[in-house]
Amino acid sequence: MTIRQPRSAADFAAYYALRYQVLRQPWQQPPGSERAADDEAPTTHHAMAVADDGTVIGVARVHPSGPGQVQVRAVAVHPNWHGRGIGQQLMMYLEEYAAAQGFTECILDSRESAVAFYQKLGYEIVAPSHTLFGVIPHFRMRKSLAV
């Protein structure tokens, strides 16, 4: 398994397909809802976990959100790969990338079901955030990055 940026149209198609399958489809959201307006911004950095057979098994992205600060969004791991450290490796990759760019803090809005995962990675709850689709509470979390 490797963590890398999507490099081709086919990579991005697989990236968005997994993002939709994990983060949107279970809540009957329409295809295309997995995309964000700033996905194509030059400052957005995408990461994907690719299995040895070439299958995309995890995705995530990071973008600047303020002075010295980045935000991680759209972290998704294929259900068949849960519990194997894929999410942790994606987060480490994005945090290392952000720190190398000079960012000192990372924030994210975690679904309630993922708060413990992010806490294990050193994130702290700052405050309640939004409720997605009217049923998925989120919490703003933060972590200082080593530079």
Compute the mean pLDDT over every residue in the chain, rounded to the nearest whole number: 94
pLDDT at 74: 96
pLDDT at 129: 85
List the domain boundaries for the chain: 2-144
Average pLDDT of 107-113? 93
pLDDT at 42: 95
Average pLDDT of 105-128? 95
Render pLDDT for 8-46 as a digit per residue (tens, 0 to 9). 999 999 999 999 999 999 989 999 999 999 999 999 999
- DSSP for 74-124? EEEE-GGGTTSSHHHHHHHHHHHHHHHTT--EEEEEEEGGGHHHHHHTT-E
What the block records as the tokens of 7 is 């490099």
The percentage of the chain sitting over the pLDDT mark of 90, rounded to a whole number, equals 84
pLDDT at 27: 85
User: Given a cut of 70, is residue 73 above it in pLDDT?
Assistant: yes
Residue 73's nearest CA partner among 63, 81, 82 is 63
User: Given a cut of 80, is residue 134 above it in pLDDT?
Assistant: no
Q: Which residues contact 140 (CB under 8 A, 6 or more apart)?
A: 107, 108, 109, 125, 126, 127, 128, 129
What the block records as the tokens of 70 is 């980045």
User: Given a cut of 90, is residue 123 above it in pLDDT?
Assistant: yes
pLDDT at 147: 59
Strand order in the sheet with 45-50: 2-4, 45-50, 56-66, 69-77, 105-111, 136-144, 124-132
Q: What pTM was computed for the model?
A: 0.93
As a whole number of angstroms, the distance between CA 54 and CA 10 comes to: 11
What the block records as the tokens of 48 is 């994907």
- Assigned CATH topology for domain 2-144: Aminopeptidase (3.40.630)
